[in-house]
Chains A and B, each alone.
Chain A
């Protein structure tokens, strides 16, 4: 009964074995493939064309740099052009915003009353509570500051794009001279990544069998235990309750098979005690490795040359 109960539990959960192996192998293989051939970034906001495409398109890029630059003449222009006028116009409005409180752009609004306000000879003064709410262009959190900052941000966006166009234009000669070197660097990187991919595939090939047949094997084993446990129980019941002495042979036969199954389970448990920690440590190792630059570029002690002191 106990064997039947535990075997049923094992039969039901055996479906997790194969996918676990496949998930680990897939994650490792996908990264190298994405790096070489491109994919959408993890945050889904952009994409990577892949090292292979980047290398092959560099020649096209080099050929068309001047065409691209020519089409950006308006962005590169200073003192003329639509984009330059746009930036200048927005900057002028910024100056007007500064003038809102005091018409000089330097201080807060002047708004001080005489108090008490119903007196013919008031003895005191009272500043309006609106002065500090209105604020000025450089006082954070005030109405004038918020509007000024918003307009400045818009101008900065436009100016930043213009500056990038100008900077790119100044770098065309450098890009032209560096294309060959870039392609060599990228091709070397592609070679190294493919070597890493090849090494990984050898390691991952060991995961194919448990990944593909893990579920079937485990379910078959638990099914075997359930079947012969049932036979043993049936033989016992028929012998004791129905007084069928001959059915004790069914019980004997079932016990032989259950003994062989237990022996097999012992061997499998020994093998899993070797494999499972390795896979667990592999996942943990990967998590730690990719968590920071220092971790990624360090090498674990157990794979350093023995001549390197710890």
Chain B
């Protein structure tokens, strides 16, 4: 057997790539391979698979941003997380000096939906069955609606009512008396932690985001990716591209024996048969 023949059928061997066109088509190989690639895409371009791949990563991004913005996951080191843990305990003598009886009914935790899989999760230290969030507390931490604003107090949500640390202290003074040692401590936490988080990462998702934060940009981004009613979204674009390929496939019906992406000649040029 000549070396030419050996070379030509070598691509069909187990170690070969099966692209026999490269061996027999000479200078026309590139054109035929490009046509074969397009024909193959008429069948293989799967917009649903691509959308699923993108959705997985988009969901991961948004879920993480939401968890951190809501305070469900702590982004502090151990020392500062322990500070928050101490502030959540109404029996902690560092903070409960001079406080009234109402103080012992509240536990200020970063979030009422903390992710317990993280060791940094801080539990609510009271068990009166009540909780406080934006939905049932007004900006003076008074009850709105039927659910008492008391008990497990969602700090990340409720502290969005304050305009400064001093403003927060004023609100807490009304609730726990001005002598309560807890008030200025939480006020400092607002200045050093919460306001910085609100400004850069964004508010918790129970509140409308403001321009300039990561959460705002993420929320604006989502429909530009997965909303098929948005004309320029990624998913709409993938669907439109798939439609173009479907139209081509339909229009090539007259030369089906050559171009059918499943049974046509151009779909059947892989000679890797031996092994």
Contact = CB atoms under 8 A, between A and B. Distances in A.
B15 A292 contact: yes
Interface in A147-173: 147, 149-151, 153-154, 157-158, 160-161, 164-165, 167-168, 170-172
Contact of B65 (A42, A48, A49, A134): A134
A35 B12 CA distance: 8
Interface string B30-56: 111011011001000100001001101
Q: What 5 A-B pairs have minimum CB-CB distances, sorted nearest first?
A: A171-B31, A86-B237, A178-B28, A114-B192, A168-B34
Interface residues of A, number: 99
A48 B270 contact: yes
B38 A72 contact: yes
Given A158-B241, A290-B13, A118 B188 contact: yes
Contacts of B274: 31, 34, 42, 290
A89 B237 contact: yes
Nearest to B211: A103
Interface in B45-100: 45, 50, 53-54, 56-58, 60-61, 64-65, 68, 73-77, 79-80, 83-84, 87
B117 interface: no
Interface of B: 1-3, 5-10, 12-16, 18, 20, 24-28, 30-32, 34-35, 37-38, 41, 45, 50, 53-54, 56-58, 60-61, 64-65, 68, 73-77, 79-80, 83-84, 87, 184-186, 188-189, 191-193, 196-197, 200-201, 212, 214, 217-218, 220-221, 224-225, 232-234, 236-238, 240-241, 243-245, 247-248, 251-252, 254-255, 257-259, 265-275
Contacts of A134: 61, 64-65, 214
28 contacts: A34-B273, A35-B271, A48-B271, A57-B257, A60-B258, A68-B259, A74-B247, A75-B38, A82-B244, A85-B237, A86-B238, A89-B236, A109-B214, A116-B80, A117-B76, A117-B80, A117-B83, A128-B68, A128-B76, A143-B65, A144-B61, A147-B57, A149-B57, A150-B54, A167-B34, A175-B32, A292-B15, A296-B13
B64 A168 contact: no
A291 B50 contact: no
A177 B26 CA distance: 11
A233 interface: no
B28 to A, nearest CB: 4
Nearest to B250: A71
Given A41-B270, A43-B272, A126-B77, A297 B6 contact: yes
Provide the main secondary structure of the chain B interface.
helix
Provide the main secondary structure of the chain A interface.
helix
Given A46-B268, A189-B9, A92 B196 contact: no
A42 B14 contact: yes
A147 B218 CA distance: 12
Interface centre among B35, B54, B247, B255 (most CB of A within 10 A): B35
Contact of A113 (B60, B65, B68, B196): B196
Nearest to B241: A86
A83 interface: yes
A231 interface: no
Given A64-B255, A164-B34, A146 B240 contact: no
